[in-house]
Chain A
Amino acid sequence: MLDATFNLSTTTTPRAFNGHTSIYLPVIATIEDVQVESKLEKVYDVRLPGGENLGHSPGQFVMVSLPGVGEAPISVMSSPSRTHDTFRLCIRNAGDLTNVIHKLERGDRVGIRGPFGRGFPIEVFKGKDVLIAAGGLGIAPARSLIDQIIDNRADFGRLIILYGARNPSELLFRDAMAEWEERDDVEALVTVDRADDTWLGHVGVITRLFEHIQINPYHTVAITVGPPIMYRFVVMELSGKGLTPEQIWMSFERRMKCGVGKCGHCQVNHRYACQEGPAWTYAEALAFEEAL
């Protein structure tokens, strides 16, 4: 039996915000490195003052600020196992703020608040086979979890990674993917909705990958991260493989303005995604009319 009933009221302890008590005040962090990941995404290594460890868990997010422009929630991409004096964010150029963030370079400053939210309950996953289905930019928060598992490989059973992107040019982390494909202890499958001339792999939406994997439903947990449209179909596949709603975790993207459960934007039914989410089990989500 899986024990998914961990404390729902868990929230992050507020960080010391420059010694002030305002929960809205960011700390000033420095961009240590920027890498172009694709046409739309860049990866940023961010250093908190004094190289303080972010202290996050996979699935949590930070609020990234550029005072004068705005603030937005961004999932942490690096795993706690690989986060020391910098943490990593994968940011898609998708809006007003991220458009400006994409112009930033090494040495530039950003405001950081967080980490916020309830990440994936990694303790619950220990000893289990872990299936991760990520779509699009969902691979970034999933990456945090994947690397955490890989770095503590003996604590977990099988690690199955299913990753779908719209087309080959939008695939992220191709180097990491190649590494995962190489490893004997990781089963990684990638698909694209639409192939181009260079693409020799799977073609079709992510659910098409499920026919290539077999899982032991008694022993598996599934985590899915991706665009809202994806969840319904992935959940159907997972249910078809015998997983119960308690064995399926999903991360919910919502508009967020405060990150601390006040501003109301991220509400899903009576829950705030920034506090009790963004990761919920499908069982929990089923109880929210609004979730799916």
Chain B
Amino acid sequence: MSLYILPKDQLSAFVEALQASFRVVGPTQTETGYAFADIVDPEQLELDYDTTVLPPKKYFLPQREVLFNFHANALEPGTGQLEVEPVFQDVTPTVIFGVHTCDMNGIMLYDKVFAEGFRDEHYMERRDQIYVIGIECLTPCDDASFCKDMGTLTAPPIYDLHMTEVNGSYLLDTGSERGEALLLEYSEAKMAKSEDMQLLGRTLSAKWPHFRHRLKMSRDQTPSLLSLGYDAHIWEDLGERCLACGSCTNVCPTCFCFDVQDELDINMEDGERVRVWDSCQLHEFALVAGGHNFRESKASRVRHRLMRKGKYIKQVHGLLGCTGCGRCERACLVDITIPGTLNALYEEMQLEPGG
């Protein structure tokens, strides 16, 4: 893998060339901020964006995804013919520009979740068609970011290309052979010279002081902190404030829980089984037929989310379930934040070890 250089003013030509063969998406300006969206005109691409409401996870696990089509007699289920046909949706080759390092860490976790154990071909087939072009974050998005604490301020090895803006050019690292092929075929990028590398190194090392730490503990301590704090007092307070709106999980780049629903055509015979994003913060999430709810209280649900972020996901997949992107904090109307919660827990555990 090698390092290339592309003058900034040649980026549009690169995007335009890609558009002939790919769906190109990236951060674009909206009325109120930025969102990942289809790039129609290369000028729409805003690589200088701060953050987006939804992370690019929506391209990997869409809000609504058809799993299979069925043909059945839904007026009298079971009685007529019953046929099922799997659907692998929307496999247009897609290039995603401008993925921040936090979000690339989210994608890295997704790749593990859907490949490990039972292999989820719906995810994997789409994943194969998505090229990730990352962008190095040189300044924090805003005060809600805590990527430095979560160790997501560097690019994980999932990108096809990774761009860093240096002196009016982009330095592009190739993370995969297909990424390098993409660059060589569709752009005028040249091999970087040694002075470019020197500049890159200087740029990268200069960025760190711009990011601040917000956690009072190291991320390695969060699993044990959460274990100790399972019965802490803070959960009740958080549960009382929580609106149970699920915004925190919907905007989270690592949340992947989904619900499965059947949607029927008006003929009551054809339909689709779909998966849609679900949230552990909603009342029904752990409710079983018969009425028992394993997480009846909002406090237990808020706690479960934090447990997943800071402990459970790591136990299962080896990565923390939080990338420090700050989206849940920006989305929460009652000021429930991950750094705030972990810090409060840390303080409570100092005062009352063991809860």
Which A residues have a C-beta under 8 Å from some C-beta of B? 11, 14, 17-18, 20-26, 28, 31, 65-72, 92, 94-95, 97-98, 100-101, 103-105, 108-111, 227-228, 253-255, 257-258, 260-265, 267, 269-270, 275, 289-290
Q: Name B314's closest neighbour in chain A (CB-CB).
A: A270
Q: Name B270's closest neighbour in chain A (CB-CB).
A: A68
Q: Contact: B72 with A265, CB < 8 Å?
A: no
Q: Contact: A23 with B118, CB < 8 Å?
A: yes
Encoded as 1 (CB less than 8 Å from any A CB) or 0, chain B from 238 to 267 comes to 000000000000000000111111101000
With A270-B312, A270-B316 already in contact, the answer to whether A263 and B67 are too (CB < 8 A) is no
For the complex formed, measure the closest distance between the CB of B141 and the CB atoms of chain A, giving whole angstroms.
27
Alpha-carbon gap, A206 to B137, bound state (A):
61
With A23-B120, A95-B289, A270-B311 already in contact, the answer to whether A67 and B271 are too (CB < 8 A) is yes
Which of B8-16, B79-87, B338-346 forms part of the interface with chain A? Answer: B79-87
Q: Contact: B259 with A263, CB < 8 Å?
A: yes
Encoded as 1 (CB less than 8 Å from any A CB) or 0, chain B from 74 to 94 comes to 101111111110101000000
Whether, in the assembled complex, B199 has its beta carbon less than 8 Å from a beta carbon of chain A, the answer is no
Alpha-carbon gap, A290 to B307, bound state (A):
11
Whether, in the assembled complex, B210 has its beta carbon less than 8 Å from a beta carbon of chain A, the answer is no
Q: Contact: A265 with B257, CB < 8 Å?
A: yes
Q: Contact: B259 with A104, CB < 8 Å?
A: no
A18, A67, A253 — most chain B CB neighbours (10 Å): A67
Q: Contact: A265 with B117, CB < 8 Å?
A: no
Q: Contact: B307 with A254, CB < 8 Å?
A: no
Alpha-carbon gap, A261 to B264, bound state (A):
26
For the complex formed, measure the closest distance between the CB of B296 and the CB atoms of chain A, giving whole angstroms.
11
With A25-B68, A270-B315, A290-B294 already in contact, the answer to whether A110 and B117 are too (CB < 8 A) is no
With A25-B67, A67-B82, A72-B289 already in contact, the answer to whether A263 and B316 are too (CB < 8 A) is no
Q: Name B82's closest neighbour in chain A (CB-CB).
A: A109
Q: Contact: A108 with B86, CB < 8 Å?
A: no
**Which chain B positions have C-beta within 8 A of A14?**
118
**Which chain B positions have C-beta within 8 A of A20?**
86
Whether, in the assembled complex, B286 has its beta carbon less than 8 Å from a beta carbon of chain A, the answer is yes
Q: Name B67's closest neighbour in chain A (CB-CB).
A: A24
Whether, in the assembled complex, B23 has its beta carbon less than 8 Å from a beta carbon of chain A, the answer is no
Whether, in the assembled complex, B58 has its beta carbon less than 8 Å from a beta carbon of chain A, the answer is no
For the complex formed, measure the closest distance between the CB of B189 and the CB atoms of chain A, giving whole angstroms.
37
A25, A28, A260 — most chain B CB neighbours (10 Å): A25
**Which chain A positions have C-beta within 8 A of B119?**
21, 23
Among the listed B82, B258, B308, which residue makes an inter-chain contact with A263, where contact means beta carbons less than 8 Å apart? B258
**Which chain B positions have C-beta within 8 A of A108?**
78-79
Q: Contact: A69 with B292, CB < 8 Å?
A: no
Q: Contact: B118 with A11, CB < 8 Å?
A: yes
With A22-B68, A263-B278, A290-B294 already in contact, the answer to whether A67 and B273 are too (CB < 8 A) is yes
Q: Name B280's closest neighbour in chain A (CB-CB).
A: A264
What are 24 A-to-B residue pairs whose CB atoms are below 8 Å? A18-B84, A21-B121, A22-B121, A23-B119, A65-B273, A66-B72, A66-B78, A67-B74, A67-B84, A67-B262, A70-B261, A92-B289, A100-B77, A103-B76, A104-B79, A110-B78, A111-B82, A227-B290, A262-B114, A263-B257, A263-B258, A263-B259, A265-B286, A290-B294
**Which chain A positions have C-beta within 8 A of B256?**
262, 264
For the complex formed, measure the closest distance between the CB of B240 and the CB atoms of chain A, giving whole angstroms.
20
Whether, in the assembled complex, B285 has its beta carbon less than 8 Å from a beta carbon of chain A, the answer is yes
Whether, in the assembled complex, B288 has its beta carbon less than 8 Å from a beta carbon of chain A, the answer is yes
Whether, in the assembled complex, B70 has its beta carbon less than 8 Å from a beta carbon of chain A, the answer is yes
- Contacts A68-B268, A270-B316 aside, 12 further interface pairs with beta carbons under 8 A come to A21-B119, A24-B273, A28-B82, A67-B273, A100-B77, A109-B82, A228-B294, A255-B294, A262-B118, A264-B256, A270-B313, A290-B304
Alpha-carbon gap, A289 to B120, bound state (A):
29
Alpha-carbon gap, A22 to B83, bound state (A):
15
Q: Contact: A22 with B122, CB < 8 Å?
A: yes
For the complex formed, measure the closest distance between the CB of A117 and the CB atoms of chain B, giving whole angstroms.
12
With A68-B77, A263-B278, A289-B230 already in contact, the answer to whether A24 and B285 are too (CB < 8 A) is no
Q: Contact: A68 with B68, CB < 8 Å?
A: no
A254, A264, A267 — most chain B CB neighbours (10 Å): A264
Q: Contact: A68 with B292, CB < 8 Å?
A: no
**Which chain B positions have C-beta within 8 A of A100?**
77-78
Whether, in the assembled complex, B287 has its beta carbon less than 8 Å from a beta carbon of chain A, the answer is yes
Q: Which chain B residues (226-245) contact chain A, with CB distance < 8 Å?
A: 230-231
For the complex formed, measure the closest distance between the CB of A138 and the CB atoms of chain B, giving whole angstroms.
12
Alpha-carbon gap, A75 to B179, bound state (A):
47
Among the listed A11, A28, A228, A263, which residue makes an inter-chain contact with B260, where contact means beta carbons less than 8 Å apart? A263
**Which chain B positions have C-beta within 8 A of A24?**
67-68, 86, 122, 260, 273, 275
Alpha-carbon gap, A20 to B260, bound state (A):
19
Alpha-carbon gap, A20 to B76, bound state (A):
27
Q: Contact: B257 with A69, CB < 8 Å?
A: no
Q: Contact: A67 with B121, CB < 8 Å?
A: no
Whether, in the assembled complex, B331 has its beta carbon less than 8 Å from a beta carbon of chain A, the answer is no
Q: Name A24's closest neighbour in chain B (CB-CB).
A: B67
Whether, in the assembled complex, B113 has its beta carbon less than 8 Å from a beta carbon of chain A, the answer is yes
Alpha-carbon gap, A265 to B287, bound state (A):
9
A22, A70, A97, A101 — most chain B CB neighbours (10 Å): A22
Q: Contact: A70 with B262, CB < 8 Å?
A: yes
Alpha-carbon gap, A98 to B290, bound state (A):
11
For the complex formed, measure the closest distance between the CB of B302 and the CB atoms of chain A, giving whole angstroms.
14
Q: Contact: A95 with B290, CB < 8 Å?
A: yes
Q: Contact: A261 with B117, CB < 8 Å?
A: yes
Q: Contact: B70 with A68, CB < 8 Å?
A: yes
For the complex formed, measure the closest distance between the CB of B258 and the CB atoms of chain A, giving whole angstroms.
5
With A25-B68, A270-B312 already in contact, the answer to whether A109 and B84 are too (CB < 8 A) is no
Q: Name B291's closest neighbour in chain A (CB-CB).
A: A94
Q: Name A262's closest neighbour in chain B (CB-CB).
A: B120
With A22-B122, A68-B77 already in contact, the answer to whether A11 and B117 are too (CB < 8 A) is yes
